[in-house]
Copies of this chain bind each other. A is one copy, B any other.
Amino acid sequence: MKALSKFEVISYLELHLKNWTYDGEAIKRELKFTTFVEAFSFMTSVALVAEKMEHHPDWNNVYNKVQISLNTHSAKGITQLDFDLAKEIDKIYKHFE
């Protein structure tokens, strides 16, 4: 997996991942739920998908909020793998919106 250029990352987010932002190091999304139960149920889905992809998020949870940060350590940047996981996360989140 090859790290993408800043321009490539920004373009991809604009087209396919509108709810994600890019800070130069990782792509990020903050998600809100009604309860902790929903937040953790969401996290369980993401964990199952991430483990299968062998690509794991850097994430933080406080009660009903989950902050996710994705990048590819081995490539020292953003790769297609991050976009793929981000899309899966968006799909899972749709159940809870």
Contacts and interface: CB of A to CB of B under 8 A. Distances in A.
Interface of A: 36-38, 40-45, 47-52, 56-63, 92, 95-96
26 contacts: A36-B47, A36-B50, A36-B56, A37-B48, A37-B51, A40-B45, A40-B47, A40-B48, A40-B51, A41-B41, A41-B95, A47-B48, A48-B48, A48-B51, A51-B51, A52-B52, A56-B62, A57-B61, A57-B62, A58-B60, A58-B62, A59-B60, A59-B61, A60-B60, A60-B61, A95-B95
Contact of A44 (B41, B50, B58): B41
Could you say how many copies of this chain the assembly holds?
4
A63 B47 CA distance: 10
B40 A44 contact: yes
Task: Determine chain A's interface SS by DSSP, over half rule.
Answer: helix
